[in-house]
Amino acid sequence: MAVDFKVIIVGRGMMGAAAARHLSGMIDGVALIGPGEPAERKSHHGVFASHYDEARITRSFDDNMVWAMLAARSLDRYREIEAKSGISFFSEAGCLFAGPPARPGRGYLGRALQVAEALDLDVETLLPAALRDRFPQFALDPSFNGYLEARRAGHINPRALVLAQTRLAEQAGVTVIDATVAAVRDEGTFVEVHANGKRYTAERVLVAAGGFSKFNDLLPDAIDVRVAARTVAFFELSERQMTIFSEMPSTIVFGDRDEDHVYILPPVGYPDGKTYLKIGGDLETRSFDTLEDIGAWFRSDGDLLERDHLVSTALRLMPALAGCPTTSAPCVATFTTSAYPYVGYTGSPRIAVLTGGNFVAAKSSDELGRLGAVIMTQGWLGAEDFGRELTPVFR
């Protein structure tokens, strides 16, 4: 039978939109289906996405070669995407890691320095005195070193990046459909996609719905992922505080305990006209197994105890934040059993999956989208594209 499209991509988030853009340069007959951001988060009872924000850290400095290369390949294309779309999303503010002095090959920082050397990344080591002089806005442990990736690092605006990817995909002929997919079904020689009461058909489908990939009836096999809660805290900055923190890089601070590890975004303007500094961590262990639970989480303000912990940590690390109004927001992270994204086919030769950011994939989303497009056209990923590492795992 004749189908509506050659490929349908389910999910208009960071990976799905990137996959649509890349695929548009490989084949015609592509559709991208997914809902936009809800106007009112707290009254919305559909699906959500974690890119509804203004800042995510981007950098190549990483203790894992695969993740470092996924990020570096994406960074290679940031400026081209901005130029072609007319949408700016990358702020080259640099990225600072602060923690105990690294030992070669030991711990995250020691391994990351080895990866940086292998990839010839420009990472400057700052000894404790130099770290304090360079970044006086921080009150760090006096024994800490800094590891600064000043170029090709900083933060991206995930909302703007998705918009840029979608605009370029549409300009190249991709059909963008604003709808929520309720089911994806392999009918033997084609795939049916049901969205907002309508039926679309395609030769193949790529499901890139983030944590929502495990819900509804999107995949023929149960994917082995854990969808976990995350809370972020925001400090509303005054003009004086914006001056103090305006030159800071994106920052990741390590400590002796897991609960001491935090990431910090420099001052960023938000749609409400205010400027915020954001801090988050990865301490929470709550996971979601139902669509109702994950929806309720996205409508909340996150975990208030975690918010209080983040606020107290921020005030210890950045005392000049004292007196700032604070708020919090929910997020989710989709963790895979391999600790790598999943990019590959399900038990159906017509339905593939692209998901599993593991809380660090926003910066790498363009390259992951390209790999999703390769799966749709080539059918597999070679060693140069980490095919073994990115193989999906199903229950």
Q: What is the model's pLDDT at position 353?
A: 98
Q: What is the model's pLDDT at position 92?
A: 98
Residues 325 and 247 in one domain: yes
Beta-sheet strands, E only, within the chain: 5-10, 30-33, 56-58, 90-91, 95-99, 124-126, 145-149, 154-156, 175-177, 181-186, 191-195, 198-207, 225-236, 250-253, 262-269, 275-281, 287-288, 326-336, 342-345, 351-355
Residues 147 and 243 in one domain: yes
The residue ranking higher by pLDDT, 255 or 381, is: 381
224-234: average pLDDT: 96
Look over the chain and give the mean of its residue pLDDT values, rounded to a whole number: 96
Residues 220 and 112 in one domain: no
Residues 309 and 270 in one domain: yes
Spell out the residues 6+ positions from residue 341 whose beta carbon is closer than 8 angstroms to its own: 15, 70, 354, 355, 356, 357, 358, 361, 368, 390
Residues 300 and 370 in one domain: no
pLDDT tens, position by position, 49-107: 989 999 999 999 999 999 999 999 999 999 999 999 999 999 999 999 999 999 988 89
Given a cut of 80, whether residue 28 has pLDDT beyond it is yes
Given a cut of 70, whether residue 33 has pLDDT beyond it is yes
126: in domain:
yes
165-188: average pLDDT: 97
Q: What domain count does the chain have?
A: 2
| Helix or strand holding residue 283 (H, E) | none
Give the domain CATH number at 243. 3.30.9.10
Given a cut of 90, whether residue 164 has pLDDT beyond it is yes
Residues 99 and 12 in one domain: no
Residues 115 and 253 in one domain: yes
Q: What percent of the chain has pLDDT over 90?
A: 94
**Banded pLDDT at 198 (limits 50, 70, 90):** very high
* DSSP category for residue 130: H
In this prediction the pTM is: 0.96
Rounded distance between C-alpha atoms, residue 12 and residue 358, angstroms = 18
Residue 163's domain spans which residues?
5-52+158-224+337-385
Q: What percent of the chain has pLDDT over 70?
A: 98
**Banded pLDDT at 283 (limits 50, 70, 90):** confident
Residues 247 and 307 in one domain: yes
Q: What is the model's pLDDT at position 215?
A: 86
Q: What is the model's pLDDT at position 257?
A: 67
Final residue of a structural domain among 334, 356, 375: 334
Residues 124 and 205 in one domain: no
167-187: average pLDDT: 97
Q: What is the model's pLDDT at position 259?
A: 62
96: in domain:
yes
Q: What is the model's pLDDT at position 258?
A: 60
Give the domain CATH number at 379. 3.50.50.60
**Banded pLDDT at 255 (limits 50, 70, 90):** confident
Q: What is the model's pLDDT at position 130?
A: 98
Given a cut of 90, whether residue 238 has pLDDT beyond it is yes
Q: What is the model's pLDDT at position 284?
A: 77
Rounded distance between C-alpha atoms, residue 326 and residue 233, angstroms = 7
313-319: average pLDDT: 97
